[in-house]
Amino acid sequence: GQQLNQSPQSMFIQEGEDVSMNCTSSSIFNTWLWYKQDPGEGPVLLIALYKAGELTSNGRLTAQFGITRKDSFLNISASIPSDVGIYFCAGPDQGAQKLVFGQGTRLTINP
Amino acid sequence: DGGITQSPKYLFRKEGQNVTLSCEQNLNHDAMYWYRQDPGQGLRLIYYSQIVNDFQKGDIAEGYSVSREKKESFPLTVTSAQKNPTAFYLCASSMSQEQFFGPGTRLTVL
């Protein structure tokens, strides 16, 4: 089946630094979704991308739908402590009404 | 307020007992989903339902059962056949491709 590979698996940064993470697949996706999960909570949808090349921002977050439709990127500018959590990418499974999720990128911020 | 509720937040059960986790949504979404998350891991799909009275197995359905008698409700039963039931369980719903998640139930089997 389809798989999504996220990298890096974990990040340890200083407060104020910019963050970049990505999600790649061997197959094409028509939609890319980025979620954030706070510790002990359910994931929250941050950004949805629907078109190849699309660049969408949500505050300090910016995500891009790769031109090849096989990857997506999420950037966080000027990180703050509340950015800590796990970031998941997801895309619709071909032929099924369900999502494929990446394994997540765990972000830790040192104040 | 519209949203997805899961109750309780924490649940403890003795080994060998069945336990049912609640998931309710008032978003009028057609589809609902159950995921399992183990510490430091990603999300694994247990069951999903596209419409009332219909559901499909996900990737790790063994030891679990569901029902979808009402659009708003999708309860998950963790049976005694599930060998390692202690985990964080997440329910989600969707109308299109975007899924929206509940706050989760942390189940601990002693």
Percentage of the residues of chain A whose pLDDT score is greater than 70:
100
Q: How many CB atoms lie within 10 A of CB A69?
A: 18
Percentage of the residues of chain A whose pLDDT score is greater than 90:
91
Mean pLDDT of B61-78: 97
Q: How many CB atoms lie within 10 A of CB A94?
A: 12
Mean pLDDT of B56-77: 97
Q: What is the pLDDT of residue A94?
A: 80
pLDDT at A96 over 80: no
Confidence of residue A97 (pLDDT cuts 50, 70, 90): confident
Q: What is the pLDDT of residue B23?
A: 98
Q: What is the pLDDT of residue B40?
A: 85
Cis, peptide link before residue B8, omega less than 30° from 0: yes
- Residue B81, CB half-sphere, CA atoms under 13 Å: how many? 7
Rounded Cα–Cα distance for residues B21 and B29 (Å): 19
Q: What is the pLDDT of residue A67?
A: 95
| B58 to chain A: closest CA residue | A98
Contacts of B69 (CB under 8 A, 6+ apart): B52, B53
Confidence of residue B2 (pLDDT cuts 50, 70, 90): low
**A46 to chain B, minimum CA–CA distance in Å?**
11
Smallest Cβ distance to B42: which of A33, A45, A102? A102
pLDDT at A82 over 70: yes
- Residue B72, CB half-sphere, CA atoms under 13 Å: how many? 7
Mean pLDDT of A57-80: 97
B9-57 tens-digit pLDDT: 999 999 999 999 999 999 999 999 999 999 988 999 999 999 999 999 9
Is A74:A65 a contact under the CB 8 Å cutoff? no
Selected residues 89-108 of chain A with any CB under 8 Å from a CB in chain B: 90, 92, 97-99, 101-104, 106
Higher pLDDT, B2 or B11: B11
Q: What is the pLDDT of residue A85?
A: 97
pLDDT at A103 over 90: yes
| A102 to chain B: closest CA residue | B42
| Contact state of A43 with B90 under an 8 Å Cβ cutoff | yes
Mean pLDDT of B87-105: 96
